[in-house]
Amino acid sequence: MFRVGRTSFQRNVPHIRRLASDASNQDNHIKKSSVTGSTENPISRTFKILGNDMKRVKNFILPSKKVTGEEDVDYLERYRREDFQSHCDVLIIGGGGVGSSIAYWLKKRARKGLNVVVVEKDSTYQKASTCLSVGGLRQQFSIVENIQMSLYGAEFLRDVKQLLGSDVHVNFTPFGYLMLATEEGAEQLQENSKLQNVLGAKNEILTANRLKERFPWMNTDGIAIGCHGLEKEGWFDPWALLSGFKKRAIEYGAHYVNAEVVGFEFRKLPNVLVGNSSMGEHEGLDKVFIRMKDGETRTVKFSIVIIAAGAESGKVAKMARVGTGKGVLSVPLPVEPRKRYVYVFQCENDRGPGINTPLTIDPTGTYFRRDGLGGNYLGGKSPSPEEEPVTDNLEVDYSYFDSKVWPDLARLVPAFEAIKVKNAWAGFYEYNTFDENGIVGPHPSYNNLYIATGFSGHGIQQTPAVGRAISEMIIDGEFRTIDLTRFGFDRILVDQPLYEANIV
């Protein structure tokens, strides 16, 4: 069912009725004056009524702050001068890849029909998960929806200049993925490949002998088979894609605010029904409090709010009492930051795999790929639960490469026995602790809260599909391009996780 909060018009009906009532009272006064013989010009009286009504409309639109002096006048003028949107139809919390994609699709499909505001606390995106990712695109998943979203992402990147502008250069590198498996994982990899090809991907299964023929740099000891992506797979520039989404969303009329969400304001909703049961009086989300860069706190009133705050989505949800309330609201949004390292290294004398090498993932989850034409490579590995690093900083642990990453790389690629780390960075995954897959769709308790987060490291390739899916839920009332119903918050309530067999 299509569930959204009341529109701005619906919420303002009482105010509009008051204006109508005031106008009616003044009209009665005009009639009375006519009876008593008043000589006031009817046109003058009409302009007085319209003037009073316009004052009431202005007071409703501007921030509810009592103007008492020059300082307060400056306060209101600042709102006007900055074009600050104190009211909007859709508020998106998070302006990274997912949030900006949602803004783009909403404004593309309803150019003048929706007022969209995006709140992003880091306008430089220096710590954003989007910009610190490896930027991979693959269809080698085991869940239908993940495969479909990645296929849609490949189609979007193919047409990115027509969709986001001729100046958007995502630099897609189409060398594919190469997933390797031992005997234990061979059957699962083959089943995944069959499903992927049925859905429209194009990859091939290679035996150990064929792997050695195709990729002579590889040590195939312990490797049973590999799945090699032939089309629609590779890697791209995540920053270019994010910039394209944001630029076009702004061109279409979306408003970006450089601020941090610090809380919500709630409103009473009597006689709320959930199924066939009445919850009686219920609280709904009404406004968000945001802290501007100068420290000032402002509010934005919305009809619909979307949490797309990446690694901080769980924290934002708690402000909305998701996880701290009663009933359904006692279940938290299971998304929190996880730190991952990406190492840049160079092979001695550039004797490593060639420029057309796919992004290769060995059975331990260790991965590498070429990085440009300079003989550099990127590589890394997700730590075990016992090894998870602290997330209060983005410092890189180089010893993790020496003890956990390099031994796996050297075992798979003998030439990597002699490599040198040149650089490294750390970034945050928006890690879904429930099942490591995205959570997309409406929240079951609030009728105006949507969620788009928890993609656990493979979200950048899914941003085009997720943004369109959320726009469809809001505008059309249902998923139309890709059915992401199974990715909803409801699966957490009923404890039905969607486990992906190929998490990297």
Q: What is the mean pLDDT of residues 123-146?
A: 91
Residue 355: how many CA atoms within 13 Å on its side-chain side?
5
What residues does 26 pair with on adjacent strands?
Answer: none
Q: What is the mean pLDDT of residues 260-284?
A: 75
Inform me whether the pLDDT recorded for 340 exceeds 90. Answer: yes
pLDDT digits (tens, 9 = 90+) for 350-362: 789 999 999 999 9
Output the pLDDT for position 278: 53
Asked if residue 299 belongs to a domain, the reply is no
Output the pLDDT for position 281: 62
77-91 CB burial, b ≥16 within 10 A, e <16: eebeeeebbebbbbb
**From residue 406, how far is each of 151, 340, 378, 412, 417 by CA, in Å?**
32, 15, 12, 10, 8
Asked if residue 15 belongs to a domain, the reply is yes
Question: CA 439, 442, 446 angle in degrees (round to 5)?
Answer: 125
Asked if residue 229 belongs to a domain, the reply is no
Whole-model pTM?
A: 0.83
Asked if residue 38 belongs to a domain, the reply is yes
| Helix (H) / strand (E) containing 171 | none
Tally the domains of the chain.
1
Output the pLDDT for position 71: 52
Inform me whether the pLDDT recorded for 476 exceeds 80. Answer: yes
Inform me whether the pLDDT recorded for 51 exceeds 90. Answer: no
| Helix (H) / strand (E) containing 42 | helix 42-61
Q: pLDDT band at residue 33, thresholds of 50, 70 and 90? A: very low
Distance (Å, whole) CA 136 – CA 130: 11
Q: What is the mean pLDDT of residues 495-503?
A: 86
- Specify the higher pLDDT residue, 42 or 181: 181
Q: pLDDT band at residue 449, thresholds of 50, 70 and 90? A: very high
For β-strands 376-380 and 297-307, DSSP reports them as unpaired
How confident is the prediction for the chain on average, in pLDDT?
86
HEC-encoded secondary structure of 250-265: HHCCCEEEEEEEEEEE
Inform me whether the pLDDT recorded for 90 exceeds 70. Answer: yes
What residues does 307 pair with on adjacent strands?
Answer: 93, 451
DSSP annotation string for 259-304: EEEEEEEEEEEEEEEETTEEEEEEEEEEEEEEEETTS-EEEEEEEE
Residue 236: how many CA atoms within 13 Å on its side-chain side?
26
pLDDT digits (tens, 9 = 90+) for 197-243: 999 999 999 999 999 999 999 999 999 999 999 999 999 999 999 99
Output the pLDDT for position 176: 97
Asked if residue 52 belongs to a domain, the reply is yes
29 is in which domain, residue-wise? 8-61
Query: Token match 């593309």: residue?
Result: 108
Q: What is the mean pLDDT of residues 121-139?
A: 89
Q: What is the mean pLDDT of residues 72-89?
A: 67
Asked if residue 68 belongs to a domain, the reply is no
HEC-encoded secondary structure of 371-399: ECCCCEEEEECCCCHHHCCCCCCCCCCHH
User: SS3 for 62?
Assistant: coil
Output the pLDDT for position 372: 84
What residues does 16 pair with on adjacent strands?
Answer: none
| Lookup: tokens for 60 | 């409703």
Inform me whether the pLDDT recorded for 124 exceeds 70. Answer: yes
